[in-house]
Chain A
Amino acid sequence: EAGVTQSPTHLIKTRGQQATLRCSPISGHTSVYWYQQALGLGLQFLLWYDEGEERNRGNFPPRFSGRQFPNYSSELNVNALELEDSALYLCASHPGGELFFGEGSRLTVL
C-alpha cells in the first residue's frame, strides 16, 4: 500500500512569487493535514481538510490557502512568498488515530 506522497520534493522560488505543493493521502483516508516545519521551530499546524471541506486552520496569514479535491488529494498554495516561508512542508493523513506523514516538500524562498 502506498503511503502519503508529496510533490515536489524541492521547490525554489523568489520573494513575492507563489508556490503550490501537492499531497496524496493513503488510499481510503479522507482527512489531510498540512504542517510547516521551519528551522528550529518544530511543527506548526497549517490546515486540516476532511471530505473536501476546510475543518480547521492554524495561526497563519490568509496567503496560506489550500483545497481538497474529490479524490481526497490536496493542494497547499502560498502566495506572496516571504523569506521566512522557507521550510519543510509536511502533509499527513489518518484513518482516525495517528497521523501518517509524507516525506515533505522543501520550499526555499530566495
Chain B
Amino acid sequence: AQSVAQPEDQVNVAEGNPLTVKCTYSVSGNPYLFWYVQYPNRGLQFLLKYITGDNLVKGSYGFEAEFNKSQTSFHLKKPSALVSDSALYFCAVRDTGRRALTFGSGTRLQVQP
C-alpha cells in the first residue's frame, strides 16, 4: 500500500521569508512523488515531480522540493514567500507500477503581507 502524510494542517509565514511544507511517504519500491497546488474553487495545478535523478527538484513559480530517501520525505520549499502563494498544497505518491496517485490531506499555506 502507498500512503502520504502531511503533518501540518496549516503553515503561516511572512511575505519574503522562506517557506517549507512537509511531506513524508510510504511505498513499496521506488517512489514517484508530486506536489500540487489548489486555489479556492479550482482544480489542482501541477508544481513539480521527482521520478529519479537529482534529489533537488525545481518546479513552477520558484518552488522546489528535496527528496530524502532515508527519511522518506519530500518537503516543498521556496526561498521567499509571496502573498499570492497562499493556497492549499497537496503532496502525492505512487509506486512504479501503474496505479493512481495517493494524495496527502493537504496543507493550507497562509502568507501574511
Q: Are B42 and A99 in contact (CB under 8 A)?
A: no
Smallest distance from the beta carbon of B22 to chain A beta carbons, Å? 15
> Which chain A residues border B41 with CB–CB below 8 Å?
106
Query: In the assembly, what is the distance between CA of A85 and CA of B102, in Å?
Result: 20
Say if the beta carbon of A63 comes within 8 Å of chain B.
no
For A103, the chain B residues whose CB sits under 8 A away are 42-43
In this complex, what residue of A is CB-closest to B42? A103
Distance, CA A110 to CA B100, complexed state (A): 31
Which residues of the other chain, B, contact A4 by a CB distance below 8 angstroms? Answer: 43
Q: Please report the C-alpha to C-alpha distance between residue A43 and residue B43 in the assembled complex, in whole angstroms.
A: 11
Q: How far is the CB of B96 from chain A (nearest CB, A)?
A: 12
Separation of A47 and B64 alpha carbons in the complex (Å): 30
Sort chain B's interface into a size bin.
Answer: 20 to 34
B45 and A98 within 8 A (CB): no
* A38 to B102 alpha-carbon distance, docked (Å): 15
Residue numbers of B with Cβ under 8 A of A are 32, 34, 36, 41-46, 49, 51, 90, 98-106
Q: How far is the CA of A101 from the CA of B92 in the complex (A)?
A: 14
A41, A45, A58, A99: the one contacting B46 at CB < 8 Å is A99
Per the bound structure, the CA–CA distance linking A109 and B107 in Å amounts to: 27
Contacts of A97 in B (CB 8 A): 32, 49, 51
Asked whether B100 lies within 8 Å of A33 as measured between CB atoms, the reply is yes
Q: Enumerate chain B residues within 8 angstroms of A45, measured Cβ to Cβ.
A: 100-103
Once bound together, how far apart are the Cα atoms of A42 and B9, in whole Å?
A: 11
B106 adjacent to A104 (CB under 8 Å): no
A55–B106 CA distance with the chains assembled, in angstroms? 26
CA A104 to CA B44, docked complex, whole Å = 9
Q: How far is the CA of A45 from the CA of B44 in the complex (A)?
A: 14
Contact of B43 among A48, A58, A102 (CB under 8 A): A102
Contact A55 B46 (CB under 8 A): no
Residue of B32, B46, B90 near A43 (CB, 8 A) is B90
Whether a CB of chain B sits under 8 angstroms from the CB of A90 is: yes
Bound CA–CA A98/B94 (angstroms): 10
